[in-house]
Amino acid sequence: MQRREVAAEAPRVPEPRLSGNRLALAGAVLYFLEWVAILGFGAGTVPTDPGTSPKDIVAEYSGHATAIALAAGWYSLVLPGRILFVAAVRAALGRGSVSALTTFAVATMAVSVVLEIGAFMLAGGAGYAATHGADQSTIVGLDAVSNWLDLAIWAPIGLSVLGLSLAMLQARAFWRWLCWLGVVAGLISCVHGVVAGPVFGIASLQDVTQAVSTVGVLGFWAWMLVTAVVVLRAPGVSALAADVTQAIRKT
């Protein structure tokens, strides 16, 4: 009887709570502004698709040089939103046992952003070269490097999403289905990043890899938006300036 009373009076361990902020949603929105360039700048298809002939590659760059340059600059402005999102979720989770995973997630997402900006800046350079007398082989070579840089973004994105999702799962501060959605999307992106280069240009495999990557991207976007909303709605949301200070201190 005495043991039961002691057990009943034992304090409960509080459930982990998030420290809410607006920066996760701000980062997601900033990142999704890439669609302004994708839909509105008329930059054509660069880097070009597998199987594009050298003549068509040159025509693509020379015909859209200004739009490609503008898009490259726009991407350099909005793509860092992915880093802001991950850093803000890290700040919401705090340090503790999840710190290594969240730090890894920030670092790998930063790598992906640098690679993607580099890919489009190189495409901008190819457009400039195409309109200033460069020969065909130079444009084709620049396009190939730009393509490979663009393919290289998927593994770091996958590692970032996977690492942050595992940290979210470990912290037990998010819905489990949301964490597992991030784990699956991250793993798909990792696999895509590994196989995208070897299967590039193999027509029989393009449809399969494209379908798999689309599933991963849609899962990543859904995970990102829902996570950002959860962090926004968590207790402790303060003014945006205070959120910035908090994220800098905890990163």
Alpha-carbon torsion 134, 137, 141, 146, what sign? positive
d(CA 120, CA 131): 17
Please give the average per-residue pLDDT across 159-178, as a whole number. 95
Residue 115 pLDDT > 70: yes
Residue 32 pLDDT > 80: yes
Please give the average per-residue pLDDT across 90-105, as a whole number. 87
> What does the pLDDT read at residue 7?
44
Whole-model pTM: value is 0.86
- The token duo for 79 is 């793509």
Q: How many CB atoms are closer than 10 A to CB 180?
A: 14
Residue 250's pLDDT band (boundaries 50, 70, 90)?
low
Residue 243's pLDDT band (boundaries 50, 70, 90)?
low
Percentage of the chain surpassing pLDDT 70? 86
| Pairwise pLDDT comparison (5 vs 81), residue with the higher score | 81
Contact assessment for residue 223 and residue 182, using Cβ atoms and an 8 Å cutoff: yes
Reply yes or no: is the peptide bond before residue 14 cis, omega within 30 of 0. no
Percentage of the chain surpassing pLDDT 90? 74
Please give the average per-residue pLDDT across 10-29, as a whole number. 76
**What is residue 133's DSSP assignment?**
T
Phi/psi class of residue 15: alpha, beta or left (left: φ > 0; alpha: ψ in -120 to 50)? beta
d(CA 233, CA 22): 9
Please give the average per-residue pLDDT across 197-225, as a whole number. 88
In the chain, what are the domain boundaries? 18-230
Q: Which of 79, 33, 78, 23 is nearest to 228 (CA)?
A: 23
> What does the pLDDT read at residue 38?
95
